[in-house]
Chain A
């Protein structure tokens, strides 16, 4: 046995080290300062059984198509993928046929344009990244295919975000929604240069993108009122699907796998106890 005093001293040392690590660990997060933390939203795709709200995502596609797609591409999405959102095959065909694409060369060696089909990608607003940059003050607007996976809250790692929001969190979706609704007048002392816009959720506070959403910027066919918050919510739903189209299949399979493993592990445990019952 160790002397009680030494033991107490050790315990005190260990506790002090642990406490200081935790306390100091939170300090720089507050010091990082001027970026506001996005509120954690209750998205329909959260949780073990979460799914994308089809109606919201379809409205979101409309917002993307009529607003975002003027500057942002969505290169990883093909028209056929839109069937995931509840569009019928005929609807997808019609949506694709609204755009043309260059194809070829044909048997005469010539390039030609044709209507897009469901297997074609959504059209990009610019011919290439250089053209996109040239039209936007030298920096190309990012492709949105993975935007909700590519943005953690305020630039934090997932592990740090989960420590800050032990009650649950959605990484990029909360950030994208907050950013779209986070425009406003800069607080005193914040200088916004020409061509910049103040957004309290953007790292540094100044973002090149002007506030993209204005009330009634689109007209929803289902009669939903197109407020800024509604459009931001719907387009975030759409972009979350675009980033993780496998989410629903993943969670459905996950529930089955977990149930299977629970039963299997339970049986293995019972077998283990049975086999070991003659060992003392």
Chain B
């Protein structure tokens, strides 16, 4: 390959050799994202979403650092400082709309990345730790996004912060102390805004650290692939560079096209109109709704009412509110246990004829939960929310373990190369 030739020519350069001898950074890069990192040759476009999430994280960090230069974390100034960014800071509207919509697109990429992992069984041995780190990244993202949404100090910022921080008061014994600690006082006020700003600046770097560990774990065994069959030898792989560098770059182009359409032509599409009203502790908005990426989890939280069947067996133990809080956090944390809840030895849903259907029902269930979260808990939405919440947990706790035992998977191809030369489907 001409590529390897040019790499070696690069490595002959005197300056490169001097650095490489003292700190082998060039071979490190080559083994991470270069021609020295072999990747399965059959990776589909579903494998683009990891690098897209990475791109989104970089967009968020860069635009966020610039926003922080102009933002004022004080209850009387925050709202107007954001409007000053929009109106008087050069290019400020662009930076802010990139950051606002970047959050949505970060979650969009990460959700597809997670569902891709669920479909192709990317969480199974030996990638369990890689998967768990991924779930930790999702949790860190949720905390970051929540605190960031509070910063513009609009009506939804204030009331969202009030509702979500109040959830912790359901924790037995120490709940009220936790809430006081989160607030820095006895109501959501200036100390709350200040600590959220501080932590919102910190968390992205925690996420960045987790992403580095995530990639480290990934590179230990390399990527899973659409067949879920292990790499058997060099005939199954191609060098990451140039094949996947160019494929990732092309994916980024498509991603940026869609992202920029929203930034420039529908920048408030994912937002709530109420957040353009300054925070007013005396006026509660009619519907307090979180950002769209929290809606499924919000629906699970609200599903736990006193008449919810799932709540009956534990009603002697805790309030419905606490059960809802545990279920909401549990719905994410449970994902970390999927490597053990899924008992099937076969990774890819391509060769799991029944799981394939349950996967798509799970996706649908998740979308229905999102719809439920967007509506006030009235009428049919209550029941739909409770059924889809029950199904969410049934999928993870009942269907996955049983299906792995009773399902008869299709015959696996001998290797990735074999599956490419004779398509399985």
Contacts and interface: CB of A to CB of B under 8 A. Distances in A.
Given A258-B260, A265-B257, A279-B243, A76 B379 contact: no
Given A2-B353, A159-B292, A250-B267, A268 B253 contact: yes
For the complex of A and B, list the 7 residue pairs with the smallest distance between their C-beta atoms, beginning with the closest: A254-B264, A265-B253, A150-B276, A152-B273, A246-B93, A268-B250, A149-B276
Contacts of B253: 261, 264-265, 268-269
Given A150-B277, A275-B242, A18 B353 contact: no
B254 A158 contact: no
B87 interface: yes
B193 interface: no
In this complex, the member of A7, A159, A243 whose beta carbon has the largest number of chain B beta carbons within 10 angstroms is A159
Interface in B366-423: 367-368, 371, 374-376, 378-381, 384, 420-421
B83 interface: yes
B14 to A, nearest CB: 30
Contact of A24 (B41, B261, B380): B380
A272 B420 CA distance: 19
A275 B243 contact: yes
A245 B92 CA distance: 12
Interface string B278-300: 00000000110100100000000
Interface string A1-30: 110001100100110011011001101100
A246 B292 CA distance: 25
28 contacts: A1-B353, A2-B353, A18-B364, A24-B381, A25-B371, A27-B379, A28-B381, A48-B265, A145-B83, A146-B277, A150-B274, A150-B277, A152-B272, A152-B273, A155-B287, A157-B273, A158-B271, A159-B292, A159-B374, A160-B374, A162-B269, A246-B86, A261-B256, A268-B250, A272-B246, A275-B242, A275-B243, A280-B420
Contact of A272 (B250, B271, B277, B353): B250
In this complex, the member of B257, B361, B379 whose beta carbon has the largest number of chain A beta carbons within 10 angstroms is B257
A271 interface: yes
B80 interface: yes
Given A203-B286, A261-B256, A268-B250, A158 B270 contact: yes
Nearest to A254: B264
Interface string A160-177: 101000000001100000
Nearest to B245: A275
A152 B253 CA distance: 32
A155 B286 contact: yes
A246 B91 CA distance: 9
Given A27-B379, A155-B287, A162-B269, A254 B246 contact: no
A251 B93 CA distance: 12
Given A14-B357, A28-B376, A250-B97, 10 more contacts: A21-B371, A81-B87, A146-B276, A251-B264, A253-B94, A254-B264, A257-B260, A264-B253, A268-B246, A276-B246
A127 interface: no
A250 B353 contact: no
